[in-house]
């Protein structure tokens, strides 16, 4: 997967649009369809993500996304991510992850101008979105307008229905609420994988710690059963979330791992002090 931080998509493509903050099972279904259609049509597969997050740009500078850009990259580079939603074992991968610069001027584009951006600048021949997708200034554009505009550019639009799992809507907001309530197992069902945070091993006054970025969404304060994954090893651990994150790994030393990327999977909250 090639990550595009500057410029535009370099070739004709099948394009998915969204915040893709959670990469939950609904997102995985949509992106798997993008990859499948791209293979059928002989086009590149692309996910377009607005950066910075629209909520941060348009009014909530303290908003903390469920997953950071680095964590999203990690997920989408997982060859087997989409096996959660497909009945096959063949690894699937997006060709491009496009971080589209987002600001108030971009947000104020009239819907038809935004469509031109998709079908001309992004070279989209097929756009795949969810049925509740809205776009353009004041979010007045909908899938009907998107389909009508696509015809002018010789392109098409595919609309996927909203998905549910066990009566829960597959949405980032649902998952955020579950994690905020400490319902990690239920959140994991909607994500298709354990909720996690990624950081690096750093030396703080002679002590090695795992530094998690301050803008990372986290579960509420408490003690959690967790997995800590470092240099390919999956280690059972206990993680305390408070003013900072502390992870205890039995009989494992971080010595020599300064600068290494660490992934902490939150499995379930435990009684305080255990």
Determine phi and psi for 54, rounding to 5 degrees. -55, -35
Q: How far apart are CA 150 and CA 49, in angstroms?
A: 20
pLDDT at 167: 62
Number of domains forming the structure of the chain = 2
For residue 90, CA distances in Å to 15, 28, 82, 205, 218 come to: 21, 15, 9, 47, 33
CATH of the domain at 51: 3.40.50.620
Based on the fold, state whether residues 134 and 227 are members of the same structural domain. no
Asked whether residue 210 is assigned to any structural domain, the reply reads yes
pLDDT at 117: 96
Based on the fold, state whether residues 6 and 117 are members of the same structural domain. yes
pTM of the model: 0.90
CB atoms within 10 A of CB 193: 15
Based on the fold, state whether residues 209 and 263 are members of the same structural domain. yes
Determine phi and psi for 102, rounding to 5 degrees. -125, 130
Ranges of the chain whose pLDDT falls below 70: 84-90, 165-167, 204-208, 251, 253-255, 271-274
pLDDT at 162: 78
- Please answer whether residues 157 and 115 qualify as being in contact, where contact means their C-beta atoms are separated by less than 8 angstroms: no
For residue 235, CA distances in Å to 12, 160, 183, 199, 257 come to: 43, 38, 22, 15, 15
Based on the fold, state whether residues 198 and 159 are members of the same structural domain. no
Residue whose C-alpha is closest to residue 98's, from 215, 13, 23, 195:
13
- Dihedral sign for Cα atoms in the order 66, 261, 239, 215: negative
Q: Which residues pair with 14 in a beta bridge?
A: 45, 126
């Amino acid at each position: 997967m090639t990550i595009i931080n500057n410029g535009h998509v370099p070739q004709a493509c099948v394009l998915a649009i969204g915040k893709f903050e959670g990469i939950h099972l609904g997102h995985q279904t949509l992106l798997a369809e993008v990859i499948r259609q791209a293979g059928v049509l002989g086009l590149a597969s692309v996910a377009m993500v607005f950066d910075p997050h629209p909520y941060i740009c348009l009014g909530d500078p303290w908003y903390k996304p469920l997953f950071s850009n680095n964590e999203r990259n990690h997920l989408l580079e997982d060859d087997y991510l989409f096996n959660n939603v497909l009945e096959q074992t063949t690894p699937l991968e997006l060709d491009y992850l496009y971080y589209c610069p987002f600001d108030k001027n971009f947000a104020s584009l009239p819907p038809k101008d935004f469509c031109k951006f998709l079908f001309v600048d992004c070279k989209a021949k097929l756009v795949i979105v969810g049925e509740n997708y809205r776009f353009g200034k004041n979010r007045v554009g909908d899938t009907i307008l998107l389909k009508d505009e696509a015809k002018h550019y010789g392109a098409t639009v595919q609309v996927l229905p909203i998905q549910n799992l066990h009566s829960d809507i597959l949405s980032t907001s649902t998952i955020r609420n579950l994690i905020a309530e400490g319902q990690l197992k239920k959140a994991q069902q909607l994500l298709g994988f354990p909720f996690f945070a990624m950081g690096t091993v750093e030396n703080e006054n002679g002590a090695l710690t795992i530094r998690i970025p301050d803008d990372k969404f986290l579960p509420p304060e408490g003690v959690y059963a967790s997995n800590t994954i470092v240099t390919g090893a999956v280690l059972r651990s206990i993680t305390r979330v408070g003013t900072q994150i502390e992870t205890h790994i039995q009989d494992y030393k971080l010595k020599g791992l300064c600068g290494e990327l660490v992934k902490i999977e939150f499995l379930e909250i435990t009684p305080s002090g255990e």
